[in-house]
Copies of this chain bind each other. A is one copy, B any other.
Amino acid sequence: MKNYVNISDLNNLQNTVQDAIDLKKNELQSKTLGEGKTICLLFFNNSLRTRLSTQKAAQNLGMHTIVMNFGNEGWQLEFEDGVVMNENKSEHIKEAAKVIAQYCDIVAIRAFASLTDKEKDNAEMVINSFIKYAGIPVVNMESATKHPLQALADAITMEEFKTTKKPKVVLSWAPHPKALPHAVANSFVEMMQLQEADFVITHPEGYELNSEITKNSRVEYNQEKAFENADFVYVKNWSSYKDYGQVIKKDADWMITEAKMKLTNNGKFMHCLPVRRNVVVTDEVIDSENSLVIEQANNRTYAAQIVLKKILEKIGC
């Protein structure tokens, strides 16, 4: 694995999940693998879980970590080619990416969707520019359209908690006051497409995800019907993809409640966090024994660590 930008960059999802579970048993088992190696974590957007878990993962491997918040600590970058840079952008990505690559062995990047320019978001300009110019391994800490570290952590969590070989897994949209990106949902869908499962996506009409990602995955517009007999309910808000970045529905009838969870097969509740309580999900559900949200967050460390481990092994430590 050179870069980790999509869940499909893993050679084999199932093996990687098993490797991560193995590594979790003794997280310091490769504590000298990254000695003398440096990872730069570049944040173009805020972060809690990703910020802490990726640092933890790198440190577990003996790497040096350098964290930079591009907005506060650096300056605006230009991504377009051939521009006369006489406005507010101080440096071109061509230089920035090549320069950063001089100081580290791996670069990890968080750069959210604009939700205003669908074409640019789909082009993944920021992360793809780093791949194009940096020349060193690039790790996606949530890009405009993908969040593969989250999806890998979710796969690990489901592997740990599944009680049947082919569980029923529901990805359910839920309401939220703000317009949110599609990255988590997209990567979850792509991850599920690599799993043996009965997978169904449920959301209100108008909230269809990018069909190039959902492909043949089943969509069920009736949330309650979708929940029937589910083993895992993975919940996430996203804004409209068709009416790009718009919030077309906010009312509480799609909130995850105890009544809905009762339709499942004693189903586990999952969410990537942060979550708005009593908007996305009721206190009862997220505080229940079937809630896996903290386990998911914990597995972010091992998802990052197995990815960094595989990259380090590839670049030859």
Flag whether A118 is at the interface (Cβ < 8 A).
no
- Are B279 and A95 closer than 8 Å at their CB atoms? no
Flag whether A59 is at the interface (Cβ < 8 A).
yes
Flag whether A210 is at the interface (Cβ < 8 A).
no
- Are B52 and A104 closer than 8 Å at their CB atoms? yes
Flag whether A315 is at the interface (Cβ < 8 A).
no
C-alpha gap A96/B276 in the complex (Å): 12
Flag whether A55 is at the interface (Cβ < 8 A).
yes
Chain B residues with CB under 8 Å of A38's CB are 56, 59
The 8 A CB mask of A291-303 against B (1 = contact, 0 = none) is 0011001101100
Flag whether A46 is at the interface (Cβ < 8 A).
yes
Contact partner of A85 (CB less than 8 A), chosen from B40, B72, B75, B276, is: B276
Shortest CB distance A284–B (Å): 11
Chain B residues with CB under 8 Å of A75's CB are 46, 48, 274
Contact partner of A276 (CB less than 8 A), chosen from B48, B86, B98, B283, is: B86
* Copies of this protein, total: 3
Main secondary structure of the interface of A (DSSP, over half): mixed
C-alpha gap A55/B279 in the complex (Å): 38
Pick from A62-70, A144-152, A199-207, A212-220 the stretch touching chain B: A62-70
How many chain A residues sit at the interface, stated as a range, is 35 or more
Chain B residues with CB under 8 Å of A275's CB are 91-92, 95
C-alpha gap A28/B277 in the complex (Å): 45
Tell me the residues in window 86-110 of chain A with beta carbons closer than 8 Å to chain B beta carbons: 86-87, 90-92, 94-96, 98-100, 102-104
Flag whether A262 is at the interface (Cβ < 8 A).
no
Flag whether A51 is at the interface (Cβ < 8 A).
yes
Flag whether A239 is at the interface (Cβ < 8 A).
no
Chain B residues with CB under 8 Å of A85's CB are 276-279
**Contact status of A95 and B293, CB under 8 A, knowing A64-B59, A78-B277:** yes
- Are A100 and B52 closer than 8 Å at their CB atoms? yes
Flag whether A47 is at the interface (Cβ < 8 A).
yes
Chain B residues with CB under 8 Å of A177's CB are 86-87
- Are B294 and A95 closer than 8 Å at their CB atoms? yes
Tell me the residues in window 213-270 of chain A with beta carbons closer than 8 Å to chain B beta carbons: none
The 8 A CB mask of A119-162 against B (1 = contact, 0 = none) is 00000000000000000000000000000000000000000000
Chain B residues with CB under 8 Å of A31's CB are 36
Flag whether A317 is at the interface (Cβ < 8 A).
no
13 interchain pairs (CB within 8 A)? A38-B56, A46-B74, A48-B74, A51-B68, A56-B66, A82-B278, A83-B277, A86-B276, A91-B273, A92-B277, A99-B294, A99-B297, A102-B301
* Known A46-B74, A86-B276; further 10 A-B contacts with Cβ < 8 A: A47-B73, A47-B74, A48-B100, A51-B68, A56-B64, A56-B103, A69-B72, A83-B277, A86-B177, A102-B294
